[in-house]
Amino acid sequence: MIKLKTKEEIEVLRENALLVSKTLAEVGRHIVPGVTTLELDRIAETYIRDNGAEPAFLGYGGFPFTLCISVNDVIVHGFASDYRLADGDIISVDCGTFYKGYYGDSAYTFPVGEISDEDKNLLRVTKESLFMGIERAVTGNRIGDISYEIQQFVEKNGFSVVREMVGHGIGKKLHESPEVPNFGKRGDGKRLQEGMVICIEPMVNAGSRSVHIHDDGWTLSTADKKRSAHFELMVAVTSDKPMILSTFEYIESKNI
């Protein structure tokens, strides 16, 4: 069942969304060659707790870290480790908070040092596809309208969308209805209603869309070992225009 949010609930969700956005920016400040992904995870946990919230992912379904950290060919749900980032890596950081009884959830893929032109294009296309999908998140449209925009743009640029993982509703639970796939047809799926709050999150592979699930039961990587990017924002559906609750501005301005 889809739970529509009141204006008051949306404001609490916005508080979570902005804290997640600031956490990602704080993590981003430390993403340099030589840092371990475990160090980044600790930075995020400290920042979230210092701001009066709890890490949403830590312990969720048994997940053992604050962040999902996915490097290079890892798509999503990667584990923090002693791996030291190297110049030319790309790293997806997915972060969640729990504050005042509600959740926040967003993701950003960062370059490490100087990355290849192909990787720059992968990140650009993935992020642009997210905003193209967001444009369709208005009352009266359907989930498939969002999905179609993302898929068409990604594939037109020679990349592929992951189908095993999808976006989702969010509120008092981290994952609520409806699911928001990154592939689909216009006019398909649930009709969007004012008060719906969803996480739109394209996961885009440089090569094939085929995936590999690791033995840990969480980590998902590309089957062909080519790289993958992931961007995610929280959006409230309105009758006027999409209300984007989280932001990349803190990351991209380097100013928290």
* Sequence-ordered alpha helix ranges (H) in the chain: 7-29, 37-50, 117-135, 143-156, 249-253
Is a pLDDT exceeding 90 seen at residue 254? Answer: no
46-81, pLDDT tens digit by residue? Answer: 999 999 999 999 999 999 999 999 999 999 999 999
Is a pLDDT exceeding 90 seen at residue 255? Answer: no
165-215, pLDDT tens digit by residue? Answer: 999 999 999 999 999 999 999 999 999 999 999 999 999 999 999 999 999
Percent of the chain clearing pLDDT 70 (strictly above): 99
* Domain 7-253 homologous superfamily, CATH: Creatinase/methionine aminopeptidase superfamily (3.90.230.10)
Domains of the chain, residue spans: 7-253
Q: How far apart are CA 198 and CA 78, in angstroms?
A: 22
Give the residue among 30, 3, 231 at the shortest CA–CA distance from 103.
3
Q: How far apart are CA 166 and CA 54, in angstroms?
A: 24
Percent of the chain clearing pLDDT 90 (strictly above): 97
